[in-house]
Amino acid sequence: MTAAVLGLAAAEWEAPAGDVFDRLGYVPTPKQRVFHDAAEFDVLFGGSSGGGKSVALVGHAIRECVRYPGLRVGAFRRTYPELKESLLTELSTTFGYGQALGASWNGNEYELRFPNGSLVMFRYAETLKDATRRQGGQYQLLIFDERTLTPPDVVSFLESRLRSGRADIPVLGIRSSANPGGSGHGSVKKRYITATNYGERTYKDERGRTVRFIPSKLEDNPHVNAEYAADLMALPEQLRAAFLDGNWDVFAGQMFPELSRERHVVEPSALPPSWRRFTSTDWGFSNPFGTLWAAIDEDGRAWFYRELYGTQIGEADQARRILAAEGPGERISVRYADDAMWATRGDAKAISTVYRENGVHLTPANKGARVTGWQRVRTYLAEGPACLHHRAAGWETCPMLHMFSTLKDFYRTLSDLPHAVRGDVEDADSDGEDHLPDCARYLLINIGGGSAEQWLAWARRKAAIATGEIPPELPAGPAAVAASASGAEAGPEPALEGVLLSPAEARKAARDQRFRESPDGVMLRYLGGG
Ligand SMILES: Nc1ncnc2c1ncn2[C@@H]1O[C@H](COP(=O)(O)OP(=O)(O)OP(=O)(O)O)[C@@H](O)[C@H]1O
Ligand SMILES: [Mg+2]
């Protein structure tokens, strides 16, 4: 064998007799056994909470260490307190620090060392900085507990450290656990759940790695106490679906659960040239760069009709691609962009300058508070009086935001955008894949409007017809309001803006002439006082 390389300890060491799990006193549940026996390179054990996933990960790491002398295992969780509560707790309780196998625990380094030279390094990695610090070197087995909570870029970086410098030590692959939700929800769901049809099949990814999903259910684990199941039963519906049923299609952290293919997505069509058009851009190089195009119809509804999305594209090239995507007669009123694109970068020109030199004249989005921006996106996702297209299909209402079915990345990332798990939970998780949602936010915050304003205008218009102030032959609906507002008799509509108020402020505002509540519960304030 390789005693010379492994050193004295390994030379003196003999593989323990009998099954590793027997010696540890660990009896895997039948589902945990399926997980331990999986031969695929990249396996996710996931679904409901309490199924025995964290225990299985620790047991797996220990068994592989005994099986392959000299193995280096990296066991990751997002933060240190979380690591302590999950993997480290199981390591000390269920597995007694592997002492039955001669392993020794280094509590300063968080490392479990085996007599055969194998090593499990328990680490936390919340940011790329965490991942690069101290985690250099290589691993042959990567363990991620609660993988959806670890940002996807951190996972990718750590995956790049998966290799072996020695022919006698195999690269074993990746073992992860996950519950639905968190900033990695979208990428985890896509790779393991959607692509395997909920674990029905395995597949080989573009790098030739076999990928498998093993669903984990609470009822698979007889060791979990009855109160825990009762607690999960008592959760609000969305949380219960995610954590009890392990349902990946609804998850508690989803920012815009109201987004629906059936209501918001429309087939591409030629949009009237009279509609004002806007673009909105979020810059990135290693992170994706994105641009969205939207046209605004007579009702103030936003029709997102084109997207650009990609990484590793330089800023001059981004600008050229934006222009190349547009038709010859396509007139863009304003091109909004992330304010950060005006920042100077040492000797380099500001990104907005490079764009300008390549024919794309940007306007800073002046985007304001993030939460206000997301609130605006929400008022656009809400229903307004139906557009002509949907009215023809017999709908009475339709959302104030439509997107063409060709905008695959916009739909996907807006649908998967997670809520923040720390700080302001009304915010989106900025570790999520938020570039195109950010573009939408910049654009909608600038053009104003949204469902609430249109409903109000429409209701006023109807009231005015009822009292005879406006002749009834004008067609009802927001388009008519816009038309009559620009005409002499109705006078201009007062401008409104949505405001975020605390419940106490909202109660006060309800008695205040300067505020109106919209049908979807947003408080609106008349601009210009009065
Ligand atoms: N094979 C086993 N033998 C004894 N106890 C077990 C076994 N598997 C799991 N348990 C116990 O069941 C409980 C839940 O297991 P675990 O924490 O691994 O679940 P989980 O799927 O990681 O849950 P969560 O999703 O909440 O993180 C723990 O108390 C654990 O010690
Ligand atoms: Mg766990």
pLDDT of residue 103: 97
pLDDT at 141 over 60: yes
Which of 457 and 126 is assigned the larger pLDDT? 126
CB 458 within 8 A of CB 481: yes
Structure-token match 């199924």, residue found: 51
Q: Is the pLDDT of residue 475 over 50?
A: no
Q: Which residues is 144 bridged to in the sheet?
A: 76, 176
Above pLDDT 70, what percent of the chain?
78
Domain span(s) for CATH 3.30.420.280 in the chain:
261-446
pLDDT at position 111 = 96
509 versus 186: the higher-pLDDT residue is 186
Please check the confidence at residue 291 and state whether its pLDDT lies above 80: yes
Q: Is 224 in the pocket of ligand 1 (CB under 6 A)?
A: yes
Q: Is 174 helix (H, G, I), strand (E, B) or coil?
A: strand
Strands (E), 66-193: 72-77, 104-106, 111-113, 119-124, 141-144, 173-178
State yes or no: pLDDT of 226 exceeds 90. Answer: no
* Closest listed ligand to the CA of 92: 1
**pLDDT at position 529:** 38
Q: Where are the beta strands (DSSP E) in 244-369?
A: 265-266, 276-282, 289-296, 302-310, 334-337, 363-364
Q: Is 246 helix (H, G, I), strand (E, B) or coil?
A: coil
CA 23 / ligand 2 centre spacing (Å): 23
The CA 25 to ligand 2 mean position distance, Å, reads 20
Q: Which of 319-328, 443-452, 479-488 has the lowest mean pLDDT?
A: 479-488
Measured distance CA(449)–CA(375) in Å, rounded: 12
Find residue 282's DSSP bridge partners: 290
pLDDT per residue as tens digits for the range 384-443? 889 999 999 999 899 999 999 999 999 999 998 988 766 665 688 888 899 999 999 999
Q: Which atom of ligand 1 is least distant from the CA of 49?
A: 25
pTM: 0.57
Q: Of the candidates 340, 57, 58, 338, which has an alpha carbon nearest to the alpha carbon of residue 216? A: 57
Q: Count Cβ atoms within 10 A of the Cβ of residue 360 and give its class: 0-12 exposed, 13-18 middle, 19 or more buried.
A: buried
Determine the pLDDT at residue 242: 79
Ligand nearest to the CA of 219: 1
**How far is ligand 2, taken at its centre, from the CA of residue 86, in Å?**
6
Ligand lying nearest the CA atom of residue 145: 2
pLDDT at 165: 84
Judged by its nearest atom, the ligand closest to the C-alpha of residue 218 is 1
Mean pLDDT of the chain: 83
Where do you find CATH 3.40.50.300 in the chain?
28-225
- 28-225 maps to which CATH number? 3.40.50.300
Decide if pLDDT at 519 tops 60: no
| CB of residue 29 inside a 6 A radius of ligand 1 | yes
27 lines ligand 1 (CB under 6 A): yes
Q: Tell which one of 20, 35, 36, 54 to mutate to probe ligand 1, the residue whose CB is within 8 A of the most ligand atoms.
A: 54
Q: Assess contact for 292 and 280: CB atoms under 8 A.
A: yes
pLDDT digits (tens, 9 = 90+) for 308-363: 999 999 999 999 999 999 998 899 999 999 999 999 878 889 999 999 999 999 99
Q: Whose CA is nearest to atom 23 of ligand 1?
A: 50
Nearest CA, atom 9, ligand 1: 52
128 Cα: distance to centroid of ligand 2 (angstroms): 23
Centre of ligand 1 to C-alpha 47, Å, is 13
Q: Which of 181-190, 276-285, 409-418, 439-448 has the lowest mean pLDDT?
A: 181-190
Confidence of residue 277 (pLDDT cuts 50, 70, 90): very high
Separation of CA 182 and ligand 2 centre (Å): 14
- Taking the C-alpha atoms of residue 136 and residue 432, their distance in angstroms, rounded to an integer, is 25
Q: What is the CATH topology of the domain spanning 261-446? A: Nucleotidyltransferase; domain 5 (3.30.420)
